[in-house]
Amino acid sequence: MRVQQRIREANGCAEVLQTDLSRPEQVDALFRKAECAFGAIDILVNNAGIGLGATVLETRTQDLRLLFEVNFFALHSLCRQALADMGKRRRGIIVNVTSAAARSGCPRVSAYSASKGAVHAYTQSLRLEAAPLGVSVVECLPISVRTGFFENVRGKKYLPSGVVQTPQKVAKTLLRALSQKNPPAEVLPFKPIRIAFVLEALIPQLFYLFSRRMLLHDEDYTLVPVSGGETHGNEG
């Protein structure tokens, strides 16, 4: 609501359409509600998601299903509706915000990594199918971002380690990419992460050993009990 107020104070147009992304019937109705509020949608940014702090042995099936419902199935519904509409007009951009974890799973957040990995593969397929329709598909892969995401994960709270970026940095990087005539397939707000992606692809065993040393023995990368509710909102 604060963002909506700031946009309006700057003479912009903004509407908030509250939606529970774990409820398919609400997700299916969201795109049409947005069209009624704004008219034709030119850019869709799928940035909502939830996390789960749990090892594989601690992960319950119902929690895994919830993560996929919000992080993957809701995104699929919105992408499908957007592509159908944008394809008819032969223009538009779909942005799926995943995570560096989509390219390399992290310990103690296997469910989150799996859901983002699914979105990564899905986005690659979507990009190829959307291109003949004149629609661009962009994947944004941020590292940890300083938002309320980590305070609102389900299960046990997990703390980010290493470099943590601001949401402003991620937003500016994404805006620069979307302003290009031909938006890139991937946007990396933290460009050095590309080195990790290359190492994982070329020398997976070495990458595994390095990751195990960095993550499993990192004192900051811990799981601690957390109280409070959950969020189905923007992620970090």
In this prediction, residue 31 has a pLDDT band, given cuts at 50, 70 and 90, of: very high
Over residues 187-211, the pLDDT tens digits come to 999 999 999 999 889 998 988 888 7
Kindly report, residue by residue over 39-71, the tens digit of the pLDDT: 999 999 999 999 999 999 999 999 999 999 999
Of 112, 122, 158, 221, catalytic: 112
Q: Answer yes or no: 112 catalytic.
A: yes
pLDDT (tens digit per residue) in 157-185: 777 777 899 999 999 999 999 999 999 99
Given the residues 33, 116, 122, 157, select the one marked as catalytic.
Answer: 116
Domains of the chain: 20-224 (3.40.50.720)
| Distance between CA atoms of residues 20 and 60, nearest Å | 21
Give 105 or 191, the one with higher predicted confidence.
191
Could you give the CA distance from residue 72 to residue 27 in angstroms, rounded to a whole number?
12
> CA–CA separation, 94 vs 83, rounded Å?
8
Q: Does the pLDDT of residue 28 top 90, yes or no?
A: yes
Task: Tell me the whole-structure pTM to 2 decimals.
Answer: 0.86
Specify whether 181 is catalytic.
no
48 near 95, Cβ under 8 Å?
no
